[in-house]
Amino acid sequence: MSQATPKAHGGTDRAFLAQDIRVLTISDSRDLSTDKSGALLEDLCKKAGHQVSLRKVIADEQVEIQKTVAAWAAEKEVDVILVTGGTGITSRDVTPEAVEPLYDKALPGFGELFRQLSFAEIGTACIQSRASAGLIAKTVVFVMPGSTGACRLAAESIILPQLDARTRPCSFPELRDAL
């Protein structure tokens, strides 16, 4: 008899499928040693059973962000890209402008749900988040704010459950071959 999946995943007999994940932090003031949000995402992904094959920090430069995400998405072994930072409304926040044009299919539910969950924690300031998600070929890309609180909320409440093939009624790993 197979072990049941936790109720948070809807209970199923599907096998867990570890995903190859890349973590990209967008920041003008951080490097790998001071990047708490990227480190948190890497830790949460690894604890969930996934592989983080690369973690990188780059400046808030639209062309560099777009080049990095496009190159990673072109690598067949990369299942997921987590991008943190640069989603606000200041002039230096250009992550959505860099990443969203790359989407073959936008996944607007991620940003909508993220802002809904954020409202419970930070109130109306949630409207300043331009979190988004989409598919670039078969790679799922999540773009989220740079705070550790936002990264934890997005990862634990939305992303990691959707990266678990045992999640019902569907998850990204089980659909990847159909993309």
Q: Please report, for the domain that includes residue 130, its CATH number.
A: 3.40.980.10
CA distance 84 to 79: 17
In a domain, 3, yes or no: no
Q: How much is the pLDDT for 14?
A: 81
Q: What is the pLDDT of residue 123?
A: 93
Nearest to 128 by CA among 107, 142, 148, 114: 114
How many whole angstroms separate alpha carbon 143 and alpha carbon 100?
9
DSSP class of 5: P
In a domain, 70, yes or no: yes
Query: Residue 54: left if φ>0, alpha if ψ -120 to 50, beta else—which one?
Result: beta
**Does residue 6 lie within any of the structural domains?**
no
Does residue 10 fall inside a structural domain?
Answer: no
H or E segment to which residue 62 belongs? helix 62-74
The reply to whether 7 falls in a domain is: no
- How many domains does the chain fold into? 1
Can you say whether the dihedral through the CA atoms of 65, 71, 129, 46 is positive or negative? negative
Domain membership of residue 53 (yes or no) is: yes
DSSP 152: H
Q: Which residues of the chain have pLDDT under 50?
A: 1-8
Asked if 18 and 175 touch (Cβ cutoff 8 Å), the reply is no
Which pLDDT does position 147 carry in this prediction?
A: 96
5 lies in a domain?
no
Nearest Cα residue to 141 out of 23, 18, 17, 9: 23
Residue 79, Cα to own-chain centre: how many angstroms? 11
Domain that includes residue 156, residue range: 17-178
Residue-level pLDDT at 6: 41
Which pLDDT score is estimated for 179?
77
- 132-136: strand order across its sheet: 51-58, 20-26, 80-84, 139-144, 132-136, 105-106
Both structure tokens of 10: 């809807």
State residue 93's pLDDT score. Answer: 94
Q: Given this model, what pLDDT does residue 113 score?
A: 97
